Structure 1
Amino acid sequence: MSFVPTPPTSGPAATAPGVNPQRRLAAQPPQTEPRGFVLYVGLDEKKAAAAGIDLGRLVTELKKVTSELAPAAETHAAVALAPVGAGGRDLEVVRLAMQDPAALSRYRGETEKTPTDEGVIVDISRKRVVLDGETAQLTYKEFELLQYLVLREGRTIDRHELISALWAEGVEHEGEVPNERTIDVHVRRLRAKLGAYEEIVRTVRGAGYRFDRHADVTIRYASTPSPDTF
């Protein structure tokens, strides 16, 4: 939310340099008042370690700064837990894990979009894909392939990982021993069925495949992970 300044009232706080106690949230409903704020931080342990810190210490330092700037403030911190290998931007994963209403609404598809609207709905909970209001006729394997990429949004997945993850014991149900060509064929068929939205499954030359979210793509998840507390 953005802040819209209003004229300060009288009193010590009103005259303090750079301080305006009467700032009002632009989207603040009537008869409400700010009582604190939430700061989402998208950062995993590897990135924290690369920066020479860990999440626990970072939380401690942020609490310390808050205490120094506002001694009366009460603080509570929780670490966001997500499934190993979950794709997507760190910040969005954190918002989803922390049950942020806007993030939950978007990821569950509870937006102004309906199945009759234009766009793509990848419904993980119901194992289906809806294209412009029509259910796409994907095979089980095609949906599993798309789902694997969706759950690792933004990360390029190589063909060997896809074979290992989607073909148990390295053998497909038709008896075919899967190889890189098997993956390419399934991706080609999947993209053909996605039609005008085929570009959500990107080919990364020499590396593999990646799911890229567009503005007209909605993902519906079955559930959200729960956070743990520091």
Structure 2
Amino acid sequence: MSLATIDIAVPTSRSVRPARETSLHAAPPLRTQPVSAPKAPAAAKIRAVPTGTEARGFVLYVGVDEAKALAAGTDLGAIVTALKKLTAELVPDSDTYAAVALAPQGAGGRDVDVVRLALQDPAALAKHRQVEPEEPSVRQGIVVDLSRKRVTLDEQVAPLTYKEFELLQYLVLREGRTIDRAELISSLWSVGDEDVPNERTIDVHVRRLRSKLGEYEEIVRTVRGVGYRFDRHADVSIRHTTTPSPDLF
């Protein structure tokens, strides 16, 4: 519609009084403001389009399985066909491509979230990684390092005292043999030491050692009525020194 075809309506609530015949001057003509054509609605802006790029299409994620579609009296194929037809009517020159998202049977969560993950939607993948439960930690094993005088449990250094390490080392170097309490006392403590244990209190030292070995406490096995023995497992590693241990004599 052009400006030439727009009629100017005169308000009915206020009529223009005609000029009197006796007036010396004619009434001034009614001034009207020019009428402009109505503006076309502004196009909706697409969010998150970086500068220097242009939108070339869009993806519509639809969360609906065959059971829900069937309950509504349709199926996925019919829905896709209807959407493609609507797009062709709105934009005849547009191209369309449809993909069906497949997921394992029984996959939990909302249908649309499952679809977004199956079709590798970046935003859904990032959110999924944030809430994805951590895998249970894998046991790395225990390493008895005789050269450095330390024990690591799953790559963490165990807080053994010097005497506790000596006790473990004594058993490790005599693998396969049960060591009685008297031998442990005489070999690891001197007569002049203030804290020399007896055959009953040596059990306290062994118990403290085992508590610091955590899940690997079973490597120090109690032989009832006799003493203690180092029990090597598949997840136990021994790093020997290049020189003979001073406790071997």
| Structure label with greater radius of gyration | 2
Structure with the higher helix share, 1 or 2: 1
* TM-score normalised by structure 1 residue count: 0.44
* TM-score normalised by structure 2 residue count: 0.41
Bigger relative contact order (CA 8 A; separation at least 6): 1
